[in-house]
Structure 1
């Protein structure tokens, strides 16, 4: 069955004890306002920016691993998209709540997440 996917956005992973200063820095650096200072399931772990270019989802996330930036690919079928990416050489690392953490053949980590607003932003790619 066909499914669709596209770049959802970028997540700025911050290995920090306090997310507010990290979010304030990235807000100023990117010229974006913090739209939701409590965007995650666990309070104090995610802050989402608004007014992003192309309606990309951009947020800062408090993490335990070293700081880095990762991207999210959104799909209307998370498992089908993860399988498609595996066929291209990616590896599934872990399923967390509703998304797959994956690793590209280049070693970069990324997530495959559920597409929430297919009518907004860039037109999704359609895959057989």
Structure 2
């Protein structure tokens, strides 16, 4: 059965005690006004909404070294993770509602549920 996926956006992982300060910096750097702190089952985020391409950009408080990771959104998490494994990626762990994966290049990324399929570019369709 076919499924769809596309780039959802970028998450700026910050190993910091002050997520508000990190969001103010990155919001200012990118010209995006920070939203409110969101607590998603213990994961703290501040979205930087209104990106003109409809990409999701957010600052996330993490307990690992700071980095940027991307999210791929899909209407079928397991099918997309399997497709990416065939390309050489590895599943690292399932967290709450998404897969944390690692590319053959060592880059970490997440496969997440598609939230707004009607916004942004049309998703790719995979058979």
Q: Structures share a fold, TM > 0.5?
A: yes
CA distance in 2, matches of 1:86, 1:14: 27
CA distance in 1, matches of 2:79, 2:69: 21
Say if 2:82 is the partner of 1:83.
yes
Q: TM-score, normalised to structure 2's length? A: 0.96
Q: Give how far 1:51 is off.
A: 1.2
Provide, for residues 77-101 of structure 1, a one-character-per-residue CA deviation record: whole Å limited to 9, x for no partner: 0110000000000000000011000
Query: How many residues matched?
Result: 127
Moved over 6 A (4+): none
Q: Kindly report which structure 2 residues correspond to 1:49-128, keeping only aligned pairs within 5 A, or say none.
A: 49-128=48-127
Which residue of structure 2 aligns with residue 25 of structure 1? 25
Provide structure 1 residue ranges, at least 5 long, that are not aligned to the other structure: none
Provide, for residues 63-114 of structure 1, a one-character-per-residue CA deviation record: whole Å limited to 9, x for no partner: 0000000000000001100000000000000000110000000000000000
| Distance change (3 Å), C-alpha of 1:100 and 1:44 | closer
Provide, for residues 7-38 of structure 1, a one-character-per-residue CA deviation record: whole Å limited to 9, x for no partner: 00000000001111111000100000113x12
Q: TM-score, normalised to structure 1's length? A: 0.95
Q: Give how far 1:44 is off.
A: 7.5
Provide structure 2 residue ranges, at least 5 long, that are not aligned to the other structure: none
Say if 2:19 is the partner of 1:5.
no
CA distance in 1, matches of 2:82, 2:65: 27
